[in-house]
A and B are shown apart, each in its own frame.
Chain A
Amino acid sequence: MTSTLRALFGACAVAALATVASAETTITVATVNNGDMIRMQKLMPDFYAEHPDIKVNWVTLEENVLRQKVTTDIATHGGQYDVMTIGTYEVPIWAKQGWLTSLNDLPASYDVNDLLPAIRKGLSYDGKLYASPFYGESSFIMYRKDLMKKAGMTMPEAPTWSFVRKAADAMTDKAKGIYGICLRGKAGWGENMAFLTAMSNSFGARWFDMKWKPQFDTKPWHDTLSFYVDMMKKDGPPGASNNGFNENLALFQQGKCGMWIDATVAGSFVTGKDSKVANEVGFALAPNKEGIAKHANWLWSWALAIPTGTKHAAAAKTFIDWATSKHYLDLVASKDGWANVPPGTRTSLYENQKYLDAAPFAKLTLKSMQLADPTHPTVDPVPYVGVQFVAIPEFQGMATAIGQQFSAAVAGTTSVDTALKNAQAIATREMKKAGYLK
């Protein structure tokens, strides 16, 4: 062997060793398009400085597209993603199927006991944590203080539905394009049905009794829907049956709504730079019916989970530990200020005076989240988990179909009675088909 050849082989061997030494693990993270996740992608240099051996590929998608993609992938064990962003609806269903890796072995520095109890409960199954929250929300009332004052009324911290209707009547001035109440009307299980399911809890209604019999033919559901439809027709904006979160946000920011009951995350939007009424916004707990302890607030969290079967579980856990840690909250605060820290996940955040000073809606967000109990969401006992949803696989399709009925009632193309009758028929048919009912 000539010396040239020897040198060549030697160089190859050194190069090969160098490759092994610097081998990095690449993980793919599927996530939703929201401000908090986009910020996280910008802060990745901090993660890479701590973990130079892990590279993260991001797949960011609109949440309905993402849900379809990750559901297909996890159900077929496709293995395209090492970390998935999922919500409180998916966690109990997927954990039961054995599709998720338990996160009970995260390091002590993660401080699992610091997670807000309601959120932790919503992301656990059989006592084990299966997803780590990076963002949590409930729902509350956002209202115009100036319009409320003009109406000669004062918003209590915990108003009843009767008060809300009275205030909506008083604030509505259709000639000036101001509508007393803006609520979700667009059909969909995550749109009007999220709101109406939470609202029905505060009227003493429930989706199913303990034998999984649908309950849309009961008085509490009739009271819920007729109250909602009457109020929307009288004090809601035109075309309310097409309005979701974004449409109502745009209306509120433009000064067209007296009150808006929706996700607590909107608190930062309605008081932000794009809002024309930023200085006039007040907050209150979601209402309840007189004499009923449950309020109309929901509980949701976007959380990071690891599908079983991923080849990079260790790297995925390292990433989740970083992305949902207390250290990450401090990192966001140091770069973008406390007002931009992802809300609704950790108790310590709500004990931090700097955060409470920066986010005027923080205390009510915490109170709303504490009021929501995903394991006991209704007045009467139920066989399911979930505040604004029922954590069974059949819920998405069934709730969207029922949502279309309720949306039609707001649009005036069907009556409340017919919508409820159809809802009962849809739910009964689906539950029979799925084997819950004989």
Chain B
Amino acid sequence: MARRVTTRAKLTNTIIAWFVGLTIFFPILWTFLTSFKTEGDAVAIPPKFLDFHWTLENYIQVNDRSDYLLHFWNSVVISVGSTLIGLAIAIPAAWAMAFVPGKRTKDVLMWMLSTKMMPAVGVLVPIYLMFKNTGLLDTRIGLVIILTLIDLPIIVWMLFTYFKEIPGEILEAARMDGATLRSEILYVLTPMAIPGIASTFLLNVILAWNEAFWTLLLTAANAAPLTAFIASFSAPEGLFYAKLSAASTMAIAPILILGWFSQKQLVRGLTFGAVK
């Protein structure tokens, strides 16, 4: 029997949902508004919400000082590249663990996840030295490799839980029809798991886009993504809040737009599999 929802309960839930949503969104809105203020208005006491002198000066200065397109392109290459390579490795790995589990599959999964528990700074010097010796410092390839390795456990976990939802009998039927392992993964499993793969892809692009430890420390002038672009406008001695807000708005805008257009897939993927 379906549960009856009263109008009053609906209204209350809607108000609570809007309140929570607006509270979460407020910092982004404030950053956006501050990006159109003068530095003086940005620190005004009491704060000015909409009643201030609107200006595009911060965007002009930010563009004047930095090569936004270079940073943007680096972010795209690094986040999309690392996620695609991660998926290429994770799909067969998750297939094996979901459909041909061994005695230690659960332990392997836990071990993979445990690598995420180590503080990144603990391996900074060895990784920096490896990058230096292999000429990978300040290269996009270097960052794609490190971000692939960092996000791989998450990708495998997410795909594993999606694959577990798919009946193994379908794959068995494909094998009965003479499908090779490659065909089974490529033409049977992957199309069925497209929603899961899509949401894993989107979530990992966002994770890689926002990664600010390795992308800041392993780059200099050539491969620095948008995280370095933002960091160049922050200062502990000097009020640059309006310029910093303009830089932040420019850095998060692409990923925000991507998230906006793909929110259906994201929600579907997230509620379908791993993070139920």
Contact = CB atoms under 8 A, between A and B. Distances in A.
Interface in B92-131: 124-125, 128-129
A253 B40 CA distance: 9
A79 B220 CA distance: 11
Contacts of A63: 235-237
A59 B221 contact: yes
B238 A80 contact: no
B128 A76 contact: yes
A76 B45 contact: no
Contacts of B234: 33, 62, 65
A256 B45 CA distance: 9
A33 B138 contact: no
B137 A78 contact: yes
B238 to A, nearest CB: 6
A218 interface: no
A306 interface: no
Contact of A62 (B40, B124, B129, B232): B232
A81 B232 CA distance: 16
A25 interface: no
A163 B49 CA distance: 40
A414 interface: no
Max chain A C-beta neighbours (<10 A), residue from B65, B125, B132, B236: B236
A35 B38 CA distance: 16
A33 B43 contact: no
B45 A254 contact: yes
A274 B57 CA distance: 15
A254 B228 CA distance: 31
A69 interface: yes
Contacts of B241: 246
A60 B232 contact: yes
Contact of B125 (A59, A72, A190, A273): A72
A68 B214 CA distance: 12
A153 interface: no
B184 interface: no
Given A34-B238, A244-B236, A251-B45, A57 B231 contact: no
Contacts of B231: 61-62, 65
Contact of B65 (A41, A72, A251, A269): A41
A183 interface: no
A47 interface: no
A38 interface: yes
Interface residues of B, number: 31
B45 A72 contact: no
Looking at chain A's contact residues, the main secondary structure is mixed
Contacts of B198: none
A79 B234 CA distance: 25
Given A65-B216, A75-B125, A32 B132 contact: no
A190 B236 contact: yes
Nearest to A61: B231
Interface string B76-91: 0000000000000000
A81 B220 contact: yes
A225 interface: no
B195 to A, nearest CB: 38
B39 interface: yes
B238 A35 contact: yes
Given A62-B231, A76-B128, A253-B40, A28 B238 contact: no
A78 B128 contact: yes
Interface string B218-233: 0011001000100111
A140 to B, nearest CB: 15
Contacts of A62: 231-232, 234-236
Interface in B108-166: 124-125, 128-129, 132, 137-138
A272 to B, nearest CB: 10
Contacts of A61: 216, 228, 231-232
Given A61-B228, A80-B220, A72 B124 contact: yes
A265 B235 CA distance: 13
Given A75-B125, A254-B44, A274-B39, A69 B216 contact: yes
B132 A78 contact: yes
Contacts of A80: 137-138, 220
Contacts of A69: 216-217
Given A62-B234, A72-B124, A250-B43, 15 more contacts: A33-B240, A34-B237, A35-B238, A59-B221, A60-B65, A60-B232, A61-B228, A61-B231, A61-B232, A69-B217, A80-B137, A190-B236, A246-B235, A249-B239, A250-B45
30 contacts: A33-B232, A34-B235, A57-B220, A59-B220, A59-B224, A60-B65, A61-B228, A62-B232, A62-B236, A65-B216, A65-B231, A72-B124, A72-B125, A73-B128, A75-B125, A78-B128, A78-B137, A79-B132, A80-B138, A81-B220, A190-B236, A191-B236, A245-B237, A246-B235, A246-B238, A246-B239, A246-B241, A249-B239, A250-B45, A256-B45
Interface of B: 38-40, 43-45, 65, 124-125, 128-129, 132, 137-138, 216-217, 220-221, 224, 228, 231-241
